[in-house]
Amino acid sequence: MNLRDQHCRPLEGHAPMSQDEIDAHLAKVVGWALNDGAIEKTYRFANYLQTIAFVNALAWIANREDHHPDLSVHYDRCVVRFNTHSVGGISLNDFICAAQLDALGA
């Protein structure tokens, strides 16, 4: 099943992904990279209004999936960082949300 068609699930008590699993999943999401314990991507926009529209769409997805990223919002870009606190690292939920954000067409 495609990552963007999946939904996040509770992962308390599960182990984080191994480096090999992270590498395999990074190959499935364009522009995402491992950075300091999280997967991260910078989305760029023409102006502030487009950036905030993206942040609002992102918030809707994060709320629906109950999986919330760290954001750094700027005039023409938004840096998105996912990791899964309940597993102490990276999980499938991070990649599911990454794929759903990429499907926004930003």
Q: What is the CATH number of the domain that holds 93?
A: 3.30.1360.20
Structure confidence by residue, pLDDT tens digits, 75-85 = 999 999 999 99
Query: Is residue 7 in a domain?
Result: no
Q: Domain tally for the chain?
A: 1
Confidence category of residue 1, pLDDT binned at 50, 70, 90: confident
* pLDDT of 105 above 90: no
Q: How far is CA 12 from CA 54, 68, 83, 93, in A?
A: 29, 15, 13, 12
For 82, the domain range is 16-102
- Average pLDDT for 87-97: 97
Mean pLDDT of 36-47: 98
Q: How confident is the model at residue 88 (pLDDT cuts 50, 70, 90)?
A: very high
Cross-sheet strand order for the sheet of 77-82: 33-35, 38-44, 77-82, 70-73
What is the reported pTM? 0.94
